[in-house]
């Protein structure tokens, strides 16, 4: 019998080396590749040492993978192998100081087109920071079409911008226009920008890439997506690991707008590459009134963030005034993004100011906020219930970031125990679903753990999928597993399959994990797509929830009065705007009305009121209430004191910042 070996003709590939590979074994890998017609280059990519190989060589990938010191081989048909999603399947998150671009957050960069004076950049930085921008943009060197246009203030302008960024705890990004200037600017900027005109200035790309700093790469006005990604490849191959792509419009036959914003490029490029993608709506449309709609369209299409031009007095701007937003317009845009973000499964990134910093000094702290999250302390994990890919883990990522340490528990009580015992700095627990109501078990846990406070809230859109083994199909399914609320939220879909037996699990992700462990072919789970990816399963049906307006409120909890709970970046930097209360009232006419009247007369908005039986006391009830906190903290404190005098039992579960 003759056995034919599989031979591959490869255009490019990445050979990932093991961390303990010897210099001899590395040299043997290089010789192996050169002898088979490949040109090679060695470099580090993230935490991996790699050898990039390109050319029309012939190689047996299995044989290459068995060489000593080779951890894995990733072949790609794309000429941009380092930027290709074939090489790295998970999304890259680029870190610039305290800012993380990519993942589940929307990062907004804002500032003027050009630095015109110290006063102008200082004022702009303070205004955009107050509205929620996390990075400051501005040009010190301006490549202009006309040689007579304002070219920027040069290094002096960059020094002004650096000072403005430091004053407002904002990393800065500015354009570099030549290899020589890149070296001079390295210590003054946190992120280089390669402008559209320089996207294919390959000597500049190689020099900037070799400096190892994060780079924002704008798409050229006539560049294809492949050319754009090949420019990113130059940066990655030259040494930097952190590249962010920026779509800023392309040149078409349309003349009404400055450029044509290629919205389709966002999902296409995110499918081709693991690099994060931002959008510059200001340069894309060039018309102030059209910037905000284009920005929101970009977020809806999946952009990881925006870079927006903002000027305190656009009519007096020395560069691009007609497309620069007024600070008031930018504030409105940020509020709109915050409202839109949960619809696309993301949250607007907010970076708290350092303690004692802020506009005119320390940030205001509302009275009654003693249970809000203290500052970060240590590297303790955040606890959640379930397996990888759980909805609770998605909420954790939105609030604390994808790189936050985490602790899995097998019950909601386990979260409270971990936080109370000090093995977790904070916890994430579901408290209410928009379709099926409150998670009473967790409300009851708050009363059993009086030393635990509610310090934050996040609303997460729940999109359920039917998930099964790779070899399964919908006709083979006989059993479906999920959390009971998952069954309730997908009742209409399940009613179409009465032959399926339903098996409840602790969480939706636990149901998925059980299928992966068992290798079950006839069993499916109702859970998030993230759970399918985490456990190597496939999605049979997506969006099977009965009502698409399906949201779950997750509470962020920490130990009351402790010093280990971090300030969650996703909760913003403002004072608490919401509080949760539990109380009982005397068994007499009008007692509940009296409590509601106290709040009503003082302008306290009641957003939720629910009664629950008191355990061990038949026909007696606790009332769970969510209320808004007015800007005047003293007023809220006074209302709390009055309520305590009008109730039998009174529990302040926490004052916190509620995100949309």
Please say whether the beta carbons of 536 and 455 come within 8 A. no
Residues paired with residue 95 on neighbouring β-strands, in sequence order? 100
Report the alpha-carbon angle 299-301-306, nearest 5.
35
What angle in degrees, to the nearest 10, is found between the helix axes of 155-167 and 118-131?
40
Is 508 assigned a catalytic role? no
Beta strands in 398-493 (DSSP E): 406-409, 426-433, 437-438, 452-461, 465-468, 479-482
Q: Is 133 helix (H, G, I), strand (E, B) or coil?
A: coil
Rounded to a whole number, what is the distance in angstroms from the first to the last CA of the chain?
Answer: 66
Which of these is catalytic: 87, 240, 510, 552? 552
Can you tell me the distance from the alpha carbon of 429 to that of 303, in angstroms, rounded to the nearest whole number?
28
Report the alpha-carbon angle 346-347-350, nearest 5.
150
Which of these is catalytic: 554, 583, 623, 636? 554
Can you tell me the distance from the alpha carbon of 380 to that of 438, in angstroms, rounded to the nearest whole number?
29
Can you tell me the distance from the alpha carbon of 99 to that of 350, in angstroms, rounded to the nearest whole number?
9
**Measuring CA to CA, how many Å separate 167 from each of 34, 159, 353, 358, 570?**
53, 12, 10, 9, 22
For 244-264, the three-class secondary structure string (H helix, E strand, C coil) is EEEECCECCCCCCCCCECCCC
| Cβ partners under 8 Å of residue 26, min gap 6 | 17, 42, 51, 69
Is 632 assigned a catalytic role? no
Q: Which of 574, 418, 534, 437 is nearest to 428 (CA)?
A: 418
Residues belonging to the active site: 552, 554
């Amino acid at each position: 019998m003759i056995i034919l070996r599989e031979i591959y003709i490869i255009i490019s590939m990445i050979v990932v080396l093991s961390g303990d590979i010897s210099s001899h074994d590395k040299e043997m890998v290089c010789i192996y590749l050169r002898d088979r017609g490949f040109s090679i280059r060695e470099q580090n990519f993230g935490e991996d040492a790699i050898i990039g190989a390109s050319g029309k060589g012939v190689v047996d990938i299995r044989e290459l993978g068995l060489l000593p010191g080779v951890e894995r081989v990733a072949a790609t048909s794309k000429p941009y192998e380092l930027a290709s999603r074939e090489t790295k399947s998970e999304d890259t998150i680029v870190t610039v100081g305290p800012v993380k671009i990519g993942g589940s957050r929307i990062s907004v960069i804002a500032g003027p087109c050009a630095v015109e004076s110290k006063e102008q950049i200082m004022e702009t930085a303070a205004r955009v920071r107050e509205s929620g921008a996390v990075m400051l943009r501005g040009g010190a060197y301006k490549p202009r079409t006309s040689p007579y246009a304002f070219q920027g203030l040069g290094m002096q302008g960059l020094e002004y911008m650096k000072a403005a960024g430091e004053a407002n705890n904002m990393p800065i990004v500015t354009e570099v226009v030549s290899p020589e200037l890149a070296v001079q600017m390295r210590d003054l900027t946190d992120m280089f920008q390669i402008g559209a005109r320089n996207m294919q200035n390959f000597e500049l790309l190689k020099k900037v890439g070799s400096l190892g700093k994060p780079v924002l790469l704008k798409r050229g006005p006539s560049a294809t997506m492949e050319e754009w990604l090949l420019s990113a490849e130059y940066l990655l191959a030259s040494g930097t690991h952190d590249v962010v792509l920026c779509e800023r419009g392309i040149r078409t036959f349309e003349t009404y707008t400055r450029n044509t914003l290629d919205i389709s490029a966002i999902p296409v490029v995110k499918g081709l590459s693991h690099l994060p993608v931002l959008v510059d709506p200001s340069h894309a449309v060039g018309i102030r009134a059209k910037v905000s709609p284009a920005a929101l369209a970009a977020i809806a299409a999946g952009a990881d963030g925006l870079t927006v031009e903002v000027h305190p007095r656009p009519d007096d701007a020395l560069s691009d005034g007609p497309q620069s937003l007024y600070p008031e317009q930018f504030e409105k845009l940020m509020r709109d993004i915050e409202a839109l973000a949960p619809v696309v499964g993301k949250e607007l990134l907010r970076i708290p100011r350092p303690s004692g910093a802020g506009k005119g000094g320390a940030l205001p702290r509302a009275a009654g906020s003693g249970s809000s999250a203290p500052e970060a302390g240590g590297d303790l994990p955040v606890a959640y219930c379930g397996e990888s890919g759980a909805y609770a883990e998605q909420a954790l990522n939105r609030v604390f970031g994808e790189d936050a340490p985490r602790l899995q528990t097998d019950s909601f009580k386990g979260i409270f125990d971990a936080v109370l015992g000090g093995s977790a700095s904070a916890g994430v627990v579901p408290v209410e679903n928009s379709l099926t109501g409150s998670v009473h078990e967790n409300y009851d846990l708050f009363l059993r753990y009086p030393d635990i406070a509610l310090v934050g809230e996040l609303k997460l859109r729940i999109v359920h999928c039917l998930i099964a083994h790779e070899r399964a199909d919908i006709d083979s399914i006989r059993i479906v597993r999920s959390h009971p609320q998952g069954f309730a939220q997908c009742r209409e879909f399940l009613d179409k399959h009465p032959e399926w037996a339903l098996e409840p699990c602790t969480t939706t992700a636990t149901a998925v994990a059980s299928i992966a462990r068992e290798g079950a072919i006839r069993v499916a789970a109702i859970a998030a797509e993230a759970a399918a990816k985490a456990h190597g399963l496939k999605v049979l049906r997506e969006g099977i929830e009965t009502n698409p307006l399906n949201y779950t409120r997750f509470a962020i909890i920490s130990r009351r009065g402790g010093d280990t709970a971090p300030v969650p970046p996703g909760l913003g930097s403002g004072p608490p705007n919401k509080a949760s209360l539990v109380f009982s009232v005397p068994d007499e006419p009008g007692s509940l009305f009296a409590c509601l009247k106290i709040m009503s007369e003082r302008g306290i908005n009641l957003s939720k009121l629910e009664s629950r039986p008191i355990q061990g006391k038949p026909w007696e009830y606790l009332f769970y209430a969510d209320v808004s906190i007015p800007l005047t903290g003293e007023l809220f404190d006074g209302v709390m004191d009055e309520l305590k005098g009008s109730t039998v039992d009174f529990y302040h579960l926490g004052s916190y910042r509620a995100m949309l």
